């Protein structure tokens, strides 16, 4: 029976037949509608024939709705009734109806819009999860697929409620059991695939579920077997591995398994379908989310991964400009993995050998299909580059291309020379053209092509990196090409940049220009500072003052901006889902404006000295602000977490006579510089002058000053049964070391200041003497800063870290033992002495510098100040962490680890509780700071032998609010 005219008028978009099906579906539902006590309508019916009729009518109705029809008011209104009926039928668990109702449920969640599905996900989770272990394989497959779709589209608000249901139904355990048993059962591969995909989605949403997966050795073996045996399930396994890698410990497990890496690389090969290759690249990206794990992965299989990257980036056929969706996805994932070039390593060499410059040029200009000469003039290169860029080929990949090019350039060696000059020259030309175009036409680009702005930022950054590349060839060619492109309007562009940056500090928060414009103009200013024909103009027009004002504006306004926040191609949803990671900041950090300001300032200060007649003095303007600037730069070195900021601050400080790397821990150890009480070594110069120093500090910071016999003491013999074998020797240990007549007294004093404090202050004449001494002592970081060499991208900022002194290299200088309370540590042995109880060979100079109470104890002159052993009433595990706090610069973060160790009480219990500590709720983690403060106060009162200072831990709290334990 067709719908009436009135019904047709009211359906507003539903076809006549679809409306008829809608009426039949409503009629079928009415057979099972019941009213509960609160007068709410609920579908309930045990009659199997009615259930079958309802499911058939729902299926028929769903077959005829799609596209715009899904948003029709009648369809939206009917979803609630459909879900209610299906949930009841699934929960009734009647075998004859399960398969049909599960299939219809899968069809429903497959077609519903995300916004609608989110409203009913919680209702569907419970009945679907209980059927995952159904003996009917087709039911389990449909339920797993429907659950995966529902959870994939889950809203953040309902996340906790859904997780509570998953815990109640023990769904994670069910899925793990299904996957673990699959290799020995006769079920189809689709069963395994859907279970793996479902588990992957669960791991993605809920960090607490990850431990039970990566810690299950049997499951991990089953997954690896499937990855080796079955092609159909490879993509699902790789996707599950990617979710496991969201956990730092899961990544460690995967990297420990050589078979997983081997299979991953094989799946990235072009012999596999695009879907499998894409998941292989995504897994590699997850493993490389952190510099440590990324470089570890490259050390284990560098060449195969580079080969796979090159293969993925060369995916396009040579005779067509058309790119399929699968090809585009593969290209993008390969380019995203190629961003490992941001870290220095052997992979750079292999990328150049594999012709990465030719690959990048092909992706940028479709160069492989263009006729070209093996040799081009600069004008011909510019014309070729303009024509290729105007073709707008593969625009979505351009930001990746510029980033890869920039990082390849900044990590090159000084004498590197590309095999083909043509490829790299045209790439440089393309980047320079894009940068100049961004400067010339900013407002036009911003208004009409927002994506073009992001590409311009990446291109400008690549130009900046190439101008200051350590590679002489790349830096020289970039300066030459950019200078040519800037003519004849380059000076006018520069004036615009300077005017804009000079006015920046006067902008209010609400009237501030676009942040990308600030970034591009600031990088452009730094690029100009590297071009000889513009440097003098910039210096004379007070460019240094401009950058100083911008630097102070960043510091005073606390304006933090990290690059990933405005570079869409760097946005990775994986970073928002990780747990159990303690990730260091990127080299340039989260203060990108401050970073570029310091970079440009360093170049201008260097050039301002070069154009002056007096190399020993800076301009009057600089001398006037020297004291304040030095204080600001030292503060950046001490308090910043970004190595790039610290390096450039230290680099600028060298032009004011401050050489080295100020740090928090160095200030503590520096207290002992002029103290002789605990000194155990005398450095005797040729003229008879003596300097008292501490052997443990020299052994770690500058071992070249000590003779081999001091660094390699004899071991304690086994017949030493006194329990204090080496302590008699250590306590009375004194060593006179005579130095060469070539060692200058003043230079040695300054060197010792650097060894203890991390930095020194010296004039140019003394710096020359120090360069010789630093070179002979193999202090490469100090030598670099004394020679005023540009910071090398990616280099860690040097810091005073005496943690190594707790090992064999510091035992011969130990003059006090910290003894922990007795614990059940089986097989305890000490290679220094025969004490049977857990203890730590420590150094008074370090302890007194790090702890005011111990300092007072050692200096009191009372009996306790001469104790060889100090008993501390904390467990051995806590003692280890306490040692880290005293000896390491990163003590703030380590204070957190004391809390779970104390609460656990013993090491075995700690091992049992560790997984739960890692998966603790964010609310608990956020309260760790308060708990830690309370515990420190309690410990100070209880031990009566250690005085703890309650520290400001705000900088560390950000890790825990993201679940990084």
Asked if 392 and 413 sit in the same domain, the reply is: yes
DSSP label at residue 377: -
The pLDDT of residue 835 is above 90: no
The CATH number of the domain where 700 resides is what?
3.30.710.10
Q: Where are the strands (E) in 781-885, listed by range?
A: 816-820, 839-842, 869-872
Cis peptide bond upstream of 708, omega within 30? no
Task: Examine residue 468 and state whether it is found in any structural domain, yes or no.
Answer: yes
Tell me the per-residue pLDDT of 548-567, one tens digit each, with 9 for 90 and over: 988 988 888 767 788 988 88
Asked if 684 and 646 sit in the same domain, the reply is: no
> What's the domain range around 853?
804-893
**Among candidates 309, 295, 397, 301, which has minimal Cα distance to 352?**
309
DSSP class per residue in 703-715: GGGS-HHHHSPPP
Q: How many domains does the chain have?
A: 4
Contact status, residue 58 vs residue 82, Cβ threshold 8 Å: yes
Helix (H, G, I), strand (E, B) or coil at 588: coil
The whole model's pTM is what?
0.85
Asked if 764 and 829 sit in the same domain, the reply is: no
Between CA 162 and CA 157 the distance in angstroms is 10
How would residue 64 be classed by pLDDT, with cut points 50, 70 and 90?
A: confident
Asked if 538 and 444 sit in the same domain, the reply is: no
Between CA 955 and CA 953 the distance in angstroms is 6
For 51-65, 376-390, 392-406, 643-657, which range has the lowest pLDDT when averaged over its residues? 51-65
Between CA 756 and CA 750 the distance in angstroms is 10
Backbone angles phi, psi at 330, to 5 degrees: -65, -45
pLDDT of residue 97: 85
Asked if 840 and 770 sit in the same domain, the reply is: no
Tell whether the torsion through CA atoms of 637, 639, 642 and 643 is positive or negative: positive
DSSP label at residue 797: P
Task: Please measure the distance between the N-terminal and C-terminal CA atoms of the chain and give it in whole angstroms.
Answer: 65
What is the side-by-side strand order in the sheet with 839-842? 839-842, 816-820, 869-872
**Among candidates 889, 484, 447, 459, which has minimal Cα distance to 669?**
889
> Which of residues 800, 822, 838 is at a domain's end?
800
Asked if 638 and 698 sit in the same domain, the reply is: no
Task: Examine residue 960 and state whether it is found in any structural domain, yes or no.
Answer: no
Between CA 949 and CA 481 the distance in angstroms is 57
pLDDT of residue 839: 87
Between CA 268 and CA 278 the distance in angstroms is 7
Between CA 440 and CA 521 the distance in angstroms is 11
The pLDDT of residue 915 is above 80: no
Between CA 945 and CA 79 the distance in angstroms is 68
For 161-175, 225-239, 481-495, 825-839, which range has the lowest pLDDT when averaged over its residues? 825-839
For 2-6, 173-177, 461-465, 899-903, which range has the lowest pLDDT when averaged over its residues? 899-903
Task: Examine residue 932 and state whether it is found in any structural domain, yes or no.
Answer: no
> Which of residues 893, 915, 947 is at a domain's end?
893
> Which of residues 459, 487, 515 is at a domain's end?
487
Contact status, residue 600 vs residue 656, Cβ threshold 8 Å: no
Asked if 374 and 482 sit in the same domain, the reply is: yes
**Among candidates 671, 735, 666, 730, which has minimal Cα distance to 701?**
666
Contact status, residue 106 vs residue 131, Cβ threshold 8 Å: no
DSSP class per residue in 723-788: S-TTHHHHHT--EEEEPPTTS-HHHHHHHHHHHHHSEEE--HHHHHHHHHHHHHTT-HHHHHHHTT
* Residues 6+ positions from 928 with CB-CB distance below 8 Å: 896, 899, 957, 960
* Residues 6+ positions from 611 with CB-CB distance below 8 Å: 535, 536, 539
Asked if 369 and 460 sit in the same domain, the reply is: yes
Asked if 669 and 783 sit in the same domain, the reply is: yes
Tell me the per-residue pLDDT of 705-747, one tens digit each, with 9 for 90 and over: 888 777 665 443 333 333 333 333 344 446 888 888 888 999 9
Asked if 597 and 482 sit in the same domain, the reply is: no
Asked if 851 and 837 sit in the same domain, the reply is: yes
User: Over the range 723-739, which residues count as b (16 or more CB within 10 Å of their CB) and which as e?
Assistant: eebbbeebeebeeebee
Average pLDDT, the chain: 81
How would residue 931 be classed by pLDDT, with cut points 50, 70 and 90?
A: very low
Highest mean pLDDT among 224-238, 668-682, 760-774: 760-774
Task: Examine residue 168 and state whether it is found in any structural domain, yes or no.
Answer: no
Contact status, residue 742 vs residue 777, Cβ threshold 8 Å: no
Residue predicted with more confidence, 168 or 963: 168
The CATH number of the domain where 848 resides is what?
3.30.710
Q: How distant, in Å, are the alpha carbons of 49, 82, 84 from that of 34?
A: 17, 14, 11
What is the chain's length? 965
Asked if 788 and 852 sit in the same domain, the reply is: no
Residue predicted with more confidence, 156 or 892: 156
Contact status, residue 240 vs residue 200, Cβ threshold 8 Å: yes
pLDDT of residue 955: 30
Task: Examine residue 576 and state whether it is found in any structural domain, yes or no.
Answer: yes
Residue 545: how many CB atoms within 10 A of its CB?
14
∠66-67-69 over CA atoms, to 5°?
70
Task: Examine residue 843 and state whether it is found in any structural domain, yes or no.
Answer: yes
Between CA 280 and CA 723 the distance in angstroms is 57
Between CA 367 and CA 394 the distance in angstroms is 12
pLDDT of residue 883: 84
Tell me the per-residue pLDDT of 155-213, one tens digit each, with 9 for 90 and over: 888 888 999 999 998 999 999 999 988 876 778 989 999 999 999 999 999 999 999 99
Task: Examine residue 701 and state whether it is found in any structural domain, yes or no.
Answer: yes
């Amino acid at each position: 029976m067709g719908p009436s005219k009135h019904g047709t008028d009211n359906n507003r978009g539903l076809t006549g037949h679809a409306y008829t099906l809608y009426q039949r579906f409503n009629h079928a539902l009415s057979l099972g509608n019941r009213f509960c006590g609160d007068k709410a309508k609920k579908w309930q019916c045990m009659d199997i024939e009615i259930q079958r009729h309802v499911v058939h009518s729902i299926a028929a109705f769903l077959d005829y709705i799609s596209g715009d029809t899904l948003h029709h008011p009648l369809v939206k209104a009917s979803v609630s009734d459909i879900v209610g009926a299906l949930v009841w039928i699934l929960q009734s668990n009647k075998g004859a109806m399960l398969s049909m109702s599960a299939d219809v449920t899968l069809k429903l969640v497959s077609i519903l819009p995300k916004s609608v599905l989110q409203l009913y996900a919680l209702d569907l989770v419970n009945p679907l999860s209980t059927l995952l272990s159904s003996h009917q394989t087709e039911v389990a497959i449909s339920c797993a697929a429907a659950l995966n779709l529902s959870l994939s589209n889950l809203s953040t608000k309902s996340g906790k409620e859904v997780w509570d249901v998953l815990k109640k139904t023990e769904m994670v355990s069910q899925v793990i059991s299904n996957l673990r048993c699959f290799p020995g059962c006769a079920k189809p591969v689709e069963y395994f695939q859907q279970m793996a995909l479902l588990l992957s989605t669960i791991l993605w949403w809920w960090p607490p579920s990850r431990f039970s997966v990566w810690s299950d050795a049997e499951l991990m073996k089953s997954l690896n077997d499937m990855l080796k045996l079955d092609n159909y399930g490879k993509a699902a396994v790789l996707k599950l591995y990617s979710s496991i890698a969201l956990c730092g410990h899961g990544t460690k497990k995967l990297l420990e398994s050589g078979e997983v890496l081997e299979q991953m690389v094989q799946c990235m090969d072009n012999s596999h379908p695009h879907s499998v290759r894409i998941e292989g690249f995504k897994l590699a990206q997850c493993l490389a989310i952190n510099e440590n794990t990324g470089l570890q992965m490259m050390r284990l299989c560098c060449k195969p991964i580079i080969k796979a990257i090159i293969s993925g980036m060369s995916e396009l056929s040579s005779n067509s400009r058309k790119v399929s969706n699968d090809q585009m996805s593969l290209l993008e994932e390969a380019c995203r993995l190629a961003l490992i070039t941001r870290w220095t390593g052997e992979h750079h060499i292999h990328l150049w050998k594999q012709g990465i410059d030719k690959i990048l040029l092909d992706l940028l200009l479709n160069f492989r299909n263009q006729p070209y000469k093996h040799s081009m003039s600069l004008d011909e290169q510019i014309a070729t580059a303009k024509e290729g860029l105007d073709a707008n080929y593969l625009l979505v990949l351009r930001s990746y291309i510029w980033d890869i090019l920039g990082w390849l350039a900044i990590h090159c060696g000084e004498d590197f020379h590309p095999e083909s000059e043509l490829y790299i020259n045209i790439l440089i030309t393309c980047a320079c053209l894009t940068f100049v175009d961004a400067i010339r036409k900013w407002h036009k680009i911003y208004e009409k092509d927002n994506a073009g702005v992001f590409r311009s930022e990446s291109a400008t950054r690549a130009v900046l990196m190439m101008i200051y590349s350590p590679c002489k060839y790349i830096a020289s060619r970039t300066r030459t090409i950019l200078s040519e492109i800037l003519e004849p309007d380059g000076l006018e562009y520069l004036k615009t940049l300077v005017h804009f940056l000079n006015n920046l500090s006067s902008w209010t928060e609400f009237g501030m220009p676009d942040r990308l414009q600030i970034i591009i103009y600031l990088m452009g200013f730094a690029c100009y500072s590297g071009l000889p024909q513009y440097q003098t103009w910039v210096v004379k027009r007070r460019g240094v003052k401009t950058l100083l004002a911008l630097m102070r504006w960043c510091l005073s306004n606390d304006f933090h901006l990290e690059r990933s926040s405005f570079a869409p191609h760097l946005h990775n949803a994986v970073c928002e889902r990780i747990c159990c990671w303690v990730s260091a900041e990127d080299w340039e950090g989260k203060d990108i404006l401050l970073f570029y300001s310091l970079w440009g300032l360093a170049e201008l200060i260097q050039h301002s000295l070069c154009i002056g007649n007096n190399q020993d003095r800076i301009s009057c303007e600089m001398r006037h602000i020297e004291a304040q600037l030095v204080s600001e730069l030292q503060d950046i070195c001490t308090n910043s977490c970004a190595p790039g900021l610290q390096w450039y601050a230290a680099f600028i400080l060298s032009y004011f006579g401050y050489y080295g790397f100020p740090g928090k821990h160095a200030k503590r150890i520096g207290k002992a510089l002029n103290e002789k009480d605990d000194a155990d070594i005398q450095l005797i110069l040729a003229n008879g002058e003596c300097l008292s120093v501490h052997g443990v500090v020299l052994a770690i910071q500058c071992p070249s000053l000590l003779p081999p016999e001091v660094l390699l003491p004899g071991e304690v013999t086994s017949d030493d049964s006194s329990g204090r074998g080496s302590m008699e020797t250590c306590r009375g240990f004194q060593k006179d070391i005579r130095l060469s007549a070539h060692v200058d007294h003043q230079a040695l004093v300054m060197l010792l200041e650097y060894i203890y404090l991390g930095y020194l202050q010296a004039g140019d004449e003394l710096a020359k003497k120090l360069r010789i001494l630093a070179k002979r002592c193999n202090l490469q970081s100090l030598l670099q800063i004394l020679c005023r060499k540009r910071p090398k991208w990616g280099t860690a900022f040097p810091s005073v870290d005496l943690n190594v002194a707790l090992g064999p290299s510091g035992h011969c200088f130990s003059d006090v033992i910290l003894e922990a309370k007795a614990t059940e540590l089986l097989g305890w042995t000490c290679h220094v002495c025969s004490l049977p109880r857990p203890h730590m060979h420590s150094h008074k100079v370090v302890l007194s510098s790090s702890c005011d109470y111990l300092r007072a104890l050692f200096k009191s002159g009372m009996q306790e100040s001469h104790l060889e052993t100090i008993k501390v009433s904390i467990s051995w595990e806590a003692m280890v962490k306490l040692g880290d706090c005293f000896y390491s610069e990163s003590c703030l973060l380590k204070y957190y680890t004391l809390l779970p160790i104390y609460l656990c009480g013993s090491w075995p219990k700690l091992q049992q509780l560790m997984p739960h500590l890692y998966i603790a709720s964010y609310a608990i983690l956020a309260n760790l700071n308060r708990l830690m403060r309370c515990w420190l106060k309690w410990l100070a009162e209880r031990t009566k032998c250690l005085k703890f200072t309650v520290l400001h831990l705000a900088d560390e709290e950000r890790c825990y609010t993201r679940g990084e334990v």
